[in-house]
Structures are given as structure tokens and as C-alpha cells.
Chain A
């Protein structure tokens, strides 16, 4: 299990690097989409069918929006001259990243390894959720009953984004 996931994550990292370096914006967007679809397989491997369904649909819609924007504007990536500024940027980024990885590896050493976790808050949700909420799908039970308040917030975020996009895409801002 851990091996399969590691290989999948390795592919995702390669896909992500390709998406960042692609010369054509359309292929960059599609590569990012493929990374997103690999996420679906990860979710299925990790026993999260709910997330897999949501992610596959949401990724499709995101991809449609991004492809629409790219096709509507330009597909060409900018020419980046490898000048001193750029080299400085890249090397700084790499150093920063190496330092972060070093600290992260140090930090997570003490914690439980893959697949061995205990439950605390969630033990109540798993134990008798079904009996209390009556929902056979425990994730839905958590989402709409124990943490229904979060879900209202989440729906509000989509509402906010829709209203926000309607206001951003107005033709004229000021009278």
C-alpha cells in the first residue's frame, strides 16, 4: 500500500514539475489536471470514495474553467531570460526548499508511522454515529450533523465566490 502510494506520489511530483516548466500553457494546465486526477486514485487507495467522487467532478470543472481561460487568451509561455536575477531566484528557492525538507524530516520522526493512527475526537463519530444521526455514510453524517456548521460555511464560500466573480467580471466598475 505504502509502496503504491509512493510511486503514485512520485508520478504526481513529476507531473507537477512538468506543469510548472511546460512551454505551452495549455499543456501546463492539462498536466496540472492530470495531477489532480491522480489525486482521485490516491483517495480511492486511501478508502475515501466520497472524496474521490467530489474531486473528480471538481477537477473536471476547474479544468474546464482553466482551459477556457487559456484558449481565450494566449497559449504561449513567457520567455524567461536566464539572467542573474533568475539564477539567484532559483537557487534561493532551492536552498529554502532543502532547509524546509530537512526540518520536516526532523520534525515528523517522533510521530506514528503510516497507517497507524489512533482516534480521539473521531472515535465518537465512528462508534455510534450511525445510531445517532441515522446516516449510513459516516462522512455525510460528520459533514451535515456533527459539523454541519462547517458545511454551511463551505456552501457560503461558494456563494461568496459566485457573487465575487459576478462583481469582478462586471463590464463597468464605476458610473
Chain B
């Protein structure tokens, strides 16, 4: 029991509590301690990723009685390792970027405190093996993000934050309600224990009811299409580093991750649920990209494109579920799920980079309107190059990582004989290319009308963007089978093998 997993929650919380105490002494306290903390977590999570150990940790040391778990468990398996890695790496780069960016705003200490709390909440959600504890940590991260969205306290920010809060609260209530219903049915809160009990249950009407509530609740958090209303406002109004965190990490860690974790590892999934998830994913993919074409605000365009890309991720998982529940070839399902996980990693990198690039443009020009911008490539070479790379990656141009993950999902769809879905995924990819060409052309190329004398952004900001561009290219190696086996397949296995997850928690 000498594992150090709780550090993922303790460190960010401790930093968040220390900043208000010592932050007033010097301006640089918060700006140095946050990146250092996140760097430590980065190394720790990467070292965990290359170590095939899976473990569970009982908080308080309460051993199970009669094989019923009574304490709160932290569970670390392949899937959570991957997400922890994403959170730490993107969090570290964004916190470096914020050092310069946040100079525009007042009370920088509060920004860093909320940022650390958001990280702590996400880490807590990812590690938690207890459904009510998961809800508590989810609330920490979303309440911090409500405040961060409104950080600029202008009209737009406050309005976006109010909308986000109302929809976020509805989602939280639905989740709490389904926790109550689950407790009623199983009398336990531990995910593995619930799964153990539900395996022997017949599929009842109440279970379906609970599942609908859970899909709605986490769908609202992940902004899948019928529940997407808050996302474009919130993600475009927030300060750019926060947008990068929200779009890149938050909607995955508290939306997609939990949805997938619960439906793979807690419920016995059926064909119908696979269909629902695949249909919601396809809808998000298509409608998100169609809505993005018409946007002239840079960050709104990126926000809508996030909806579309989340659709890809859900599509892959949906295909995997459909194949597995029908008893089809497992290798195809593994391919689809691995493609989804790969796309999840890639999306957080390139969408983070794109939002940081949009932030860099806003930092120098104070506008986000594409009609006023143009020809910035000469003045801001680093921003231009990095965001060109990210745009190519997101629209699936070969040497970049986005191409491979989309390719894997499409291949899996074709092999599973879902030709329509594969066709739609290709079409959406082309639409994505179209609106990113528009973005590139109207911002970085063409004639520079209004901003002829601006400079490149400060070092801290360009550093993060360059590192992210390197990641964009470098992550392509995950497509090589032998490397894929080490990292992605570990995560896929922990999702597919339900018994493995249960055995991790309840040791017989």
C-alpha cells in the first residue's frame, strides 16, 4: 500500500490552497509553483504509462468486509493512465502559456488557484472508483471552470458562464439522481461492486431509465449534439488558455471518459446503447462541422469544431460497442476503440494548440473577427506555423497525428461493415479541411489590412505552442503497431475486459 497515486490529487489541491496564502508576497509565486507542480505530475504520469502495473488504492485503509468494499477506492488502469497523462501534459503547457497571457487580467493568483482546482477535480474524476466520489470531484472541476469562464467579467463572459452554469447544474442533478437510483438498486457505490451486482440482474425498466439519465447528464458535460448549447459560448468567451483546457481536456475527462468508463465497466452494455452512442456521435460530427463553416469568430469556429471531433471519438466507441455486443470479431472492436482513444489524445493536443494560437492572435490584435484579420503570417511566424500544423492535423493531412487516428476509426468502420458511417466520417473530414482552409486563409494569409506593426508573442507563449506542434507530429508514432501495443492497447484491454476491472478492486 505504499503507492503514491493520491499525489495526483494532493499536489494540485495543496498548491491551490497555498497560493492564496503566499501569493500576495510576490507576483511570481503562483506563476512558478503551478508549472513546477504540473511538471512533476507529467513525469509521474508518463512513468506510470510505461509501467504495465495496474493497481487500486483504498483511501483510509478500510479493507473490504465479506468481499463488500466499504472504503473509497482509487483505481489506476490503462485507460485512466492515458487520461492522466493528457491532463498533466496539456495542463503544464497551458500553465506555461498563461504566465504571459494572464498579464492582461487582474488578480492572477485567483486564476492560478482555480486552474489548480480544476486540475485536481479532473484527476480525482479520472482516478475515482466510487460513483459518488466521482460526482464530488466532477463538481470541483466544473465549479472552477464556471468561474474561469467568467474570469474576464465582461458582458459576454458573464452571459456564457450563466448559460454554462444552468446547463451544467441540470447535468449534475441528473447525475446525482442516477447515483441515487443506482444506490437504490444495488445498495453500494463502488463501481466494481455495482458492476458485479448488475451482471446477475435482469435488464429492468429502472436500469434503462438510469442509463438514459446518465447519457443525458454526461452528454451535457461532453457537449454531444442535442446537448451542446452551452459549449460554443463558454469556450469562446473564456480566456484562451482556459478555452484550451476546456476544449482540450475538460470535456473529455469529465464527459467522454466517465461515459465510456461507466458504460464499459459498470453496466452490461447492450447493442441498443452502442447504437445510441454511435448515432449521437455521428450527429455531433456532422452538425458540429456544418455549424462551424458559418462562423467568423475564430474561437467560435474552434468551439464548434470541438463538437464535431468529439463526435468522431464517440463514433469509434459506439462502433466498438456494437461489434462487441453482437459478438463480432474482437480485433475490429479493439481497432475502433484504440482509434477513438488515439483521437482523444490527438484532439487534446491539436485543439489545445489551436486555441492557444487563437489566444496569441487575440493577445496582439485584440480582435477575433476573421473579417478584420489577415496576412499575419509575416508578423507572427511562430503562431502562423504552429497553427498551420494544427489545422493540417485536425483536418487529417498525412504526416500529422490526426490523419492516423481518423484513418484507424474509418478502417474499423469499414471492416465492421458500417459503410454509411465510414462514408460520413470521410465527408466530415473534408468539411473540416474546408473550414480550416478558410480559417488559415483569412487570418494568416491574404492582405494585412489593419495590423501591420504587431510583433510575435512573448517567449512563454511561443514555447508552449512549439512544444505542442512537436507533439502533434511526434504522436504519429502511436500508429506504429509495436508502440500502439504498449500504450493504447493497455487502455483498450482495461475497457474490454470487464472482469479485469472488477478483479482489480475486489480481490478474491
Contact = CB atoms under 8 A, between A and B. Distances in A.
A and B touching (Cβ–Cβ under 8 A)? yes
Interface stretch (A13-21, A69-77, A83-91, A114-122): A114-122
A121 B189 contact: yes
Nearest to A168: B150
Interface string B15-33: 0110010000000000000
B68 interface: yes
A167 B158 CA distance: 12
A173 B105 contact: yes
Given A120-B186, A160-B114, A174-B104, A168 B147 contact: yes
B144 A164 contact: yes
Contact of A124 (B16, B68, B111, B150): B68
Of B144, B154, B157, B193, the most chain A CB neighbours within 10 A belong to B144
Contact of A157 (B68, B140, B186): B140
A16 to B, nearest CB: 15
B286 interface: no
A43 interface: no
A119 B186 CA distance: 9
Interface in B422-440: none
A149 B147 contact: no
A111 B106 CA distance: 54
B280 interface: no
A107 B205 contact: yes
A119 B65 CA distance: 13
Contacts of A148: 59-60
B120 interface: yes
B204 A110 contact: yes
A150 B326 CA distance: 39
A129 to B, nearest CB: 10
Contact of B110 (A120, A125, A166, A174): A166
Chain B interface: which size bin?
Answer: 35 or more
Contact of B106 (A150, A164, A175): A175
B62 A146 contact: yes
B214 to A, nearest CB: 14
A96 interface: no
Of A117, A119, A146, A147, which is in contact with the most chain B CB atoms at under 10 Å from its CB? A147
A168 B153 contact: yes
Interface string A142-156: 000111111011101
B185 interface: yes
Interface string A52-80: 00000000000000000000000000000
Contacts of B120: 156
A159 interface: yes
A108 interface: yes
A106 B189 contact: no
A170 interface: yes
Max chain A Cβ within 10 angstroms of own Cβ: one of B68, B70, B117, B132: B70
B277 interface: no
Contacts of B104: 174-175
B113 interface: yes
A61 to B, nearest CB: 17
A119 B187 contact: yes
Contacts of B153: 168, 170, 172-173
A157 B136 contact: yes
A102 B59 CA distance: 41
Given A121-B189, A147-B72, A150-B132, A163 B114 contact: yes
A121 B69 contact: yes
Contacts of B110: 163, 166-167
A122 B205 CA distance: 25
A170 B114 CA distance: 15
A152 B136 CA distance: 10
A136 B27 CA distance: 47
B209 A103 contact: yes
Given A110-B206, A150-B132, A170 B140 contact: no
Interface residues of A, number: 42
A3 B218 CA distance: 36
Contacts of A45: none
B208 A164 contact: no
B233 interface: no
Given A111-B206, A156-B120, A149 B60 contact: yes
A94 to B, nearest CB: 18
Nearest to A109: B205
A153 B188 contact: no
Contacts of A103: 205, 209
Given A124-B65, A160-B147, A173-B153, A153 B105 contact: no
Contacts of B60: 145-146, 148-149
A103 B210 CA distance: 11
Nearest to B20: A163
Given A164-B147, A173-B153, A159 B70 contact: no
Contacts of B62: 146
B205 A106 contact: yes
B283 to A, nearest CB: 20
B151 interface: yes
Nearest to A169: B153
Given A163-B147, A175-B103, A121 B190 contact: yes
Nearest to A166: B110
Interface of A: 103-104, 106-111, 117-125, 145-150, 152-154, 156-157, 159-161, 163-168, 170, 172-175
17 contacts: A103-B205, A107-B206, A120-B186, A120-B188, A121-B68, A148-B60, A157-B143, A159-B17, A160-B114, A163-B113, A164-B114, A164-B147, A167-B110, A167-B111, A168-B150, A173-B153, A174-B152
Closest 8 CB pairs of A and B: A164-B147, A120-B187, A173-B153, A153-B136, A121-B188, A107-B209, A107-B206, A167-B110
Given A146-B72, A156-B140, A173-B153, 16 more contacts: A110-B204, A117-B184, A121-B188, A145-B60, A153-B137, A157-B136, A160-B144, A163-B110, A164-B114, A167-B107, A168-B147, A168-B161, A172-B106, A173-B154, A174-B106, A175-B104
